[in-house]
């Protein structure tokens, strides 16, 4: 659930071409309605997402050809996704969790032509 109390569906696999998706949408529980939001900058499946007060983070994934180290952040006020600092390692099927103070995101494990046993920490404050 995002900072706006809506449920987000980001990227994935499928659609008419059965491919990695760039689409993103959100469900407004109060109005029982799905709405399209801005597309991601690149298609992603097997990504992880984290919701923080300053936006939704789409982390890593697979674009159909490459494992991704990039991260995009959604700004609801601007209805746009922007790239932030990338991870050190490309990965899909990863786990991600924010710290209780919302200042850091931990990215754990994943896959890049084999299982990964790495953990990375992203600072929301420092964008690194």
Structural domains for the chain: 7-123 (2.120.10.80)
pLDDT band at 16 (very low <50, low <70, confident <90, very high): confident
CA gap 119, 106 in Å, rounded: 7
Higher pLDDT, 9 or 15: 9
> What is the arrangement of strands in the sheet containing 7-10, beginning at the earlier edge strand?
7-10, 24-28, 33-37
Q: Give the global pTM.
A: 0.93
Confidence band for 90, pLDDT divided at 50, 70 and 90: very high
Q: Is-contact 36 25, C-beta < 8 A?
A: yes
Hey, what's the torsion of the CAs at 29, 32, 33, 34, to 10 degrees? 50
Q: Chain-wide mean pLDDT for the chain?
A: 95
Stretch 78-88: mean pLDDT: 97
Q: Let me know how long the chain is.
A: 128
Among candidate residues 72, 70, 66, 71, the one with its CA nearest the CA of residue 111: 66
Question: How do residues 94-117 score in pLDDT, each as one tens digit?
Answer: 999 999 999 999 999 999 999 999
- So what's the pLDDT on residue 119? 97
pLDDT tens figures, 38-66: 999 999 999 999 999 999 999 999 999 99
User: For the chain, what percent of residues have pLDDT higher than 90?
Assistant: 92
**Percent of the chain clearing pLDDT 70 (strictly above):** 100
């Amino acid at each position: 659930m995002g900072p706006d109390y809506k449920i987000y569906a980001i990227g994935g696999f499928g659609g008419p071409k059965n491919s990695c998706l760039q689409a993103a949408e959100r469900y407004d529980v109060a109005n029982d309605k799905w709405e399209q939001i801005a597309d991601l900058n690149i298609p992603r499946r097997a990504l992880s997402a984290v919701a923080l007060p300053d936006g939704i983070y789409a982390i890593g994934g697979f674009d159909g050809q490459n494992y991704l180290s990039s991260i995009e952040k959604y700004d609801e006020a601007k209805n746009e996704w922007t790239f932030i600092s990338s991870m050190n390692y490309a990965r899909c099927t990863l786990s991600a969790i924010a710290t209780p103070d919302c200042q850091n995101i931990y990215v754990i494990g994943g896959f890049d032509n084999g299982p990964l046993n790495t953990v990375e920490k992203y600072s929301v404050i420092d964008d690194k």
